[in-house]
Amino acid sequence: MSEQNHLRTEENPRIDKARILKDRLEKKYSERYAEGGQSGREKTRSRAESQLSTPAERKVRRFTYSPNPDAFGRMTEGFARYMGTPQFLLWMTVFCGVWLGWNTLAPEELQFDPRSLNFTLLTLMLSLQASYAAPLLLLAQNRQDDRDRVVASEDRKRDQQNLEETQYLTREIASLRIALREVATRDFVRSELRDILEELKSIQEEQERQAEQLHDIGEEYEDEDTHEDGAQQGSESSDSAAAGDAAASAADKKERRDVS
C-alpha cells in the first residue's frame, strides 16, 4: 500500500503538468482561430463593399448573325429541285418569249432592252442565272451525297446487324437440331419398348425353362428317394426274417439239447 501511494504521488504532478500544457495549447489555438476568422470575415466584407462601390460594366450586345447551314441547304436544294421541273421550263420559256416579243414588236420608246443592242439585259440575266444555278446544283448534289452516305452507313449497319442476327439464328437452329437428335422420338421409343418386351419375354421363357428343369430334377430326386426307401424296407424285412430263422434254429437246438 505504501508503494502504491508513493507511485500515485509521483504520477499526480505529471498529470497536472499535462493538463496545464493542454489548457495552454487550447487557449493558443482558440485565439489563433478567432483571429483568423475575424480577418477572413473582414476580407469578405471589404470585397463585398468594393464590389458594391465600383459600378458594373455595361455589357454591349453585339448583333451576331449565325446563318443556319441546314436552312440554306434546304433552300438551295428546293431551288435546284424546282429548276428541274417542267413548270420552271414552261415559265422560263414564257418569260423569254414575252421579253423578246415586247422588245421586238413594241415601239422603240417602250422597249427597255432593244433588239439593236442584241438583248443585252436578257443575256446578262440568263448568264447570272446560269452562273448561280451551277453552284446551287452542286450544293444540292453535295447534300444529296451526304444523305446517301448517311443512308449507306445506316444500311451497312443494318445489314451487319441482320447478318449477326441470322448467324445467331443459324447457330441456335443448329444447336436445336443437335438437341433434337438426342431427344427420344416416337419411333425410337417404340423400338426401345419392343426390345424391352422381347427381352422380358426371353427372360420369362428362360425362367419357365429353368422352373421346368428344377421340377424335373425334383421329380427325379423324389423317385430316387422312393426307391431307396423301398430298398431299405426290403433289407429290413429280410434282416428281420433272417433274425427270426436264427432264433427258431437256436430254439430247436436248445430243445434238442434238453431232450438229450
* Model confidence pLDDT, tens digit, residues 68-87: 767 777 888 888 888 888 99
The C-alpha R_g of the chain, in whole angstroms, comes to 67
What does the pLDDT read at residue 190? 85
What does the pLDDT read at residue 156? 93
What does the pLDDT read at residue 3? 45
140 C-beta neighbours (distance < 10 Å), count: 21
Segments making up each domain of the chain, as ranges? 68-170, 184-220
The list of the chain residues with pLDDT below 70 reads 1-17, 28-67, 69, 183-184, 224-225, 227-248, 250-251, 253-260
According to the 3-state scheme, what is the secondary structure of the chain? CHHHHHHHHHHHHHHHHHHHHHHHHHHHHHHHHHHHHHHHHHHHHHHHHHHHHCCCCCCCCCCCCCCCHHHHHHHHHHHHHHHCCHHHHHHHHHHHHHHHHHHHHCCCCCCCCCHHHCCHHHHHHHHHHHHHHHHHHHHHHHHHHHHHHHHHHHHHHHHHHHHHHHHHHHHHHHHHHHHHHHCCCHHHHHHHHHHHHHHHHHHHHHHHHHHHHHHHHHHHHHHHHHHHHHHHHHHHHHHHHHHHHHHHHHHHHHHHHHHC
